[in-house]
Amino acid sequence: MADRKPIESWLTDMDGVLIHEGVPIPGADAFIKRLRESGKPFLVLTNNSIYTPRDLHARLRRMGLEVPIESIWTSALATAKFLDDQRPGGSAYVIGEAGLTTALHDIGYILTDHEPDYVVLGETRTYSFEAMTKAVRLINAGARFICTNPDETGPSTEGPLPATGAVAALITKATGKQPYFAGKPNPLMMRTGLNAIGAHSESSAMIGDRMDTDVLAGIEAGMQTFLVLTGLTRPEQVENFPYRPSKVVDSIADLVERV
C-alpha cells in the first residue's frame, strides 16, 4: 500500500462508534477530548435526519460528550447543501422532522405541496399514508425525488424500525422513479463535510461501524478508513465485501492515541 499522508482531520460516525442506544461507548469521551485538544478539524456524522445539529449537541452533552455544533454533520445538512448547489431558492415537499425542515429553511427553500421542485424524504417516526400518497402524486406530476439516506431500517429499544430507504422503495414502486440519496454511502456527504471544515481527503480518516455505508463512503471519498466492531458489522462479515477498510479495530478507544 502506498504511504498515506498523516491524518490531519477526522470524520466519525455517531451511532455504533461513539454511542449505542443512548449510552457512550467506552473511549468515546477520551477520543472527542483528544480531538478538541489537538485543534484538528473533525466532524461527527449521522445519516439520521431527524435532529438539528443543535439538538444532537445537547443530546451528546447529556451523555458526557462535548461536540461543538459546528462539528456535527447530518444527512439533512448534506441534502440541503446539494439542493442549494443544484437549484438555489427552490421549493420542496418534505416528509421529515425538524432536522430536515430546518436545514432547508436555512438555505432559503420554500416548503410547499404546490408544484414543488423536489419531493424530499427524510427520517420520521410518524410516516403517514397521506403524506406518502401526496409524495407519489407530486413525483408523478414532475417533482424530482430526493432522499436524505438509504438506510432501510433504524434502531430502537424495541427492535428495528422501517427507515427512509424502506419508505423510498415504496414510493419508487408506486412511481417508477428512483430517488437520489444524499447521505452515506454517497461520498458527496463526506466531500461536503470535508469542505465545511476546510479539510482534504488525502489527509483525512473516516471511522465507522458499517462496511456498506461508513467504510464505502470513506473509500470512495479517498480517505483512510477505520472499522470499529462496536456496531453492526461483525469481524467475520468484513471478508464478505469486495473492499476493505484501512484498519479494523475493536472500538474507538483504540484510536485515541492516533489523534
List the catalytic residues: 13, 15
The reply to whether 84 sits in an annotated binding site is no
d(C-alpha 146, C-alpha 121), whole Å:
6
Q: Is residue 232 a contact partner of residue 117, using CB atoms and an 8 Å limit?
A: no
The reply to whether 15 sits in an annotated binding site is yes
Q: Nearest-CA neighbor of 36 among 256, 241, 229? A: 256
d(C-alpha 202, C-alpha 125), whole Å:
38
The reply to whether 209 sits in an annotated binding site is yes
Find the largest Cα–Cα distance for the chain.
54
d(C-alpha 109, C-alpha 86), whole Å:
12
The reply to whether 214 sits in an annotated binding site is no
Cβ-proximal residues to 120 (8 Å cutoff; 6+ apart), any chain: 79, 83, 92, 93, 94, 95, 96, 100, 104, 146, 147, 148
Specify binding-site residues for substrate.
184
Binding site listing: 13, 15, 184, 209
